[in-house]
Amino acid sequence: VPVVSGMLLADRMQGKHTVGMTYLGDGGTSVGAFHEGINFAAVQKLPLVLILEFNGRAYSTPYEKQCAARTLADKAVGYGIPGVVVDGNDALMVYEVARAAVDRARAGGGPTILECKTYRMKGHAEHDAQAYVDAEELAVWRARDPLARLEAALDASGAMPAAERRRVHDEIESRLDEDVAFAEASPFPDPALAFRGVYADEGILERGRAGVFTGGL
Amino acid sequence: MADPRVARGGATLTLTPDGAAGLEIFYLEAIRQALFEEMERDPRVFVLGQDVGVYGGAFKVTEGLQERFGKERVLDTPLSEEAIVGGAIGAAMRGMRPVAEMQFIDFISRAFDLLTNFAAKNRYRTGVGVPMVVRGPCGGGVHGGPFHSQNRRSGADLTIVTYGAMVWTALEAAEILERDGVSAEVLDLRTLLPLDEEAILASVRRTGKCLVLHEDTRTGGLGAEIAATLSEKAFEWLDGPILRVTAPDTPVPYSPPLEEAFLPNVNTLLAAARKLVRY
């Protein structure tokens, strides 16, 4: 959050009209940098939309062990900015609320906290089978699948025919397959790259005062 | 409009890139001068920190800069090192050249995560560098005075490698040693990274004996690094052990007599130097 605030500050100084949007989970709001960054952005009225993806957990830690506030958006009061809670599995609603926050930021109104209530359907990462998650609760949320809901909404409005959706879906799948094939066919990087990209002067380690590779002898 | 450039005794002095020789100024004046020149020259350079604006900074380093460059380029921030350093990182990534002030350098540890895990590694991780300066005052005690940029003293019997306020302690000790017929060379490192390894090696190869003096605590400090480097690259020239005179491995105490005891001083330095000369 502080880094994005700095980016927006820089853009304002350079006369660019940028709106920044960044994402955090419930755990991220317990970190000091969240508070310092959003407070700074609020004081400077920076055009920031902070999306808090509330999914009830940070790794295995449930929300009630994370934060005592009724909602994450409640925190906004302390920074003097709006905090909005939205059904995060309703894509169109999220769009509308985010749009309003962006418009507000663009008009000089400053940051908004946007809390999207959603759920984590898989573990923290591939290794995590999330045995600590209640199976019934998972089933309840599976029924709230945001993709299925968006498709239903598109069907109801006729905005995007099923055949067109199928085409887009297949196109994305085939692009992903190509990228995976490319990655798997690519060689592993040269070990010498481990020493690159640290200093502006790329040769400094080889010539370096510590004589990294020779022990100075 | 107030001119924040170096002013001593009512006169305004303008330094030139090569004309600084012979002009004695305080470090903070040199920093203010550098900020002034860079902000004049480059609109991307800006300062952010606590009380840097109207107040001119806790140590008056940024005094007059806001009047000259405005509230945006001399930006007062909340009491919030993570916001200051994080803000500087973001601004640097978007084309600015921020100078972030830590009111006291001790506070920099509040932004440790952003400095070590973001600023220092971002180029390695993503290819996007973070061109920024973080600066702040450090050093204990009240022994520090004005520094001249070329503090150095030649000698033949031993080399005292040091930096910062300890340069004065070293020079004082070197004068006392001279009365005893011992000729000590004092090397002021001025910057620690880059470290002027060539100058250290050249001096120690002449004197054969080296003593490293620093205010920092002992274990894992710069003294150890210099000793290891000398051992690697000047082993055959050494006529005695490389000694360290440093603060002990404790926090800096607050009470004046305790702080006096904590900091290296002329007496502890002299004792070590005499031991080394006799070796």
Distance CA B219, CA B154 (A): 29
Assess contact for B132 and B89: CB atoms under 8 A.
yes
The shortest CB-CB distance from A37 to any of B46, B82, B233 is to B82
Q: What is the pLDDT of residue A192?
A: 78
A202 interface with B at CB cutoff 8 Å: no
Residues 6+ apart with CB under 8 A from B273: B158, B160, B173, B177, B182, B184, B211
User: B113: which residues sit within 8 A by CB, 6+ positions away?
Assistant: A33, B82
Cα B164 from Cα A99, distance rounded (Å): 54
**Closest A-chain CA to B233:** A216
Name the E strands within chain A: 20-25, 48-54, 57-58, 61-62, 83-87, 112-117
pLDDT tens per residue, range B200-221 = 999 999 999 999 999 999 999 9
Classify burial at A73, counting beta carbons within 10 Å of its beta carbon; exposed 0-12, middle 13-18, buried 19 or more.
buried
Question: What number is the ipTM of this complex?
Answer: 0.81
pLDDT in tens, B34-54: 999 999 999 999 999 999 999
CA distance A48 to A80: 14
B89 touches A: beta carbon within 8 Å: yes
Q: Taking a contact as any Cβ pair under 8 Å apart, which residues of chain B between 211 and 240 contact chain A?
A: 229, 232-233
Q: Which residues of A touch B85 (CB under 8 A)?
A: 2
**pLDDT at A53 > cutoff 90:** yes
> What is the rounded distance in angstroms from the CA atom of residue A101 to the CA atom of residue A50?
9
- What phi and psi, each to the nearest 5 degrees, are found at residue B71? -75, -20
Q: pLDDT by residue (tens digit) across B105-141?
A: 889 999 999 999 999 999 988 989 999 999 998 876 5
DSSP SS3 for A51: strand
Distance CA B245, CA B215 (A): 8
pLDDT in tens, B225-247: 999 999 999 999 999 999 999 99
Q: Which of B72, B74, B80 to mutate to test the interface with A (most CBs of A within 10 A)?
A: B80
Please, is B95 exposed, middle or buried when counting C-beta atoms within 10 Å of its C-beta (0-12, 13-18, 19+)?
A: middle
Q: What angle do CA A175, A181, A183 make, to 5 degrees?
A: 105
Count the helix, strand and coil residues of chain B and give each as a percent rounded to the nearest 5: 40, 15, 40
Q: What confidence category does residue B3 fall into, taking pLDDT thresholds of 50, 70 and 90?
A: low
How many distinct helices (H) and strands (E) make up chain A? Answer: 8, 6
Q: Where are the alpha helices (H) located in B55-100, listed in sequence order? A: 65-73, 81-93
- Please tell me if residue B102 touches chain A, with a CB cutoff of 8 Å: no
For residue A141, give the 3-state DSSP assignment.
Answer: helix
Provide the pLDDT for residue A151.
92
Separation between Cα atoms, residue B213 and residue B159, nearest integer Å: 10
* Residue numbers in A near B128 (CB within 8 A): none
SS3 of residue A135 by DSSP? helix
Average pLDDT of chain B to the nearest whole number: 87
Angstrom CA distances, A210 to A151, A204, B225, stand at 61, 10, 9
Q: Which residue has the higher pLDDT, A74 or B149?
A: A74
Q: Which amino acid is at A22?
A: T
Other beta carbons within 10 angstroms of residue B244's beta carbon come to: 21
Closest among B207, B200, B201 to B184, alpha carbons compared:
B207
Q: Give the gap in angstroms from C-alpha A137 to the nearest C-alpha of chain B.
A: 36
Asked if residues B46 and B40 have their Cβ atoms less than 8 Å apart, the reply is no
Sorted by sequence, the CB contacts under 8 Å of residue A156 that are 6+ apart come out as: none
A25-55 as b/e, with b when 16 or more CB fall inside 10 Å? Answer: bbbbbeeebbbbbbbbbbbbebbbbbbbbbb
Q: What percent of chain A stands above pLDDT 70? A: 94
Evaluate the omega torsion of the peptide bond into residue B264 and state whether it is cis, within 30 degrees of 0. Answer: no
**CA–CA separation, A215 and A129 (whole Å):** 46
Kindly tell me if the per-residue pLDDT of A212 is higher than 50: no
So what's the pLDDT on residue A201? 74
C-alpha–C-alpha distance, residues B65 and B74, integer Å: 7
Please write the tens of the pLDDT for every residue from A99-118.
999 999 999 999 999 999 99
Do B88 and A6 make contact, defined as CB atoms within 8 angstroms? yes
- Specify the higher pLDDT residue, B44 or B259: B44
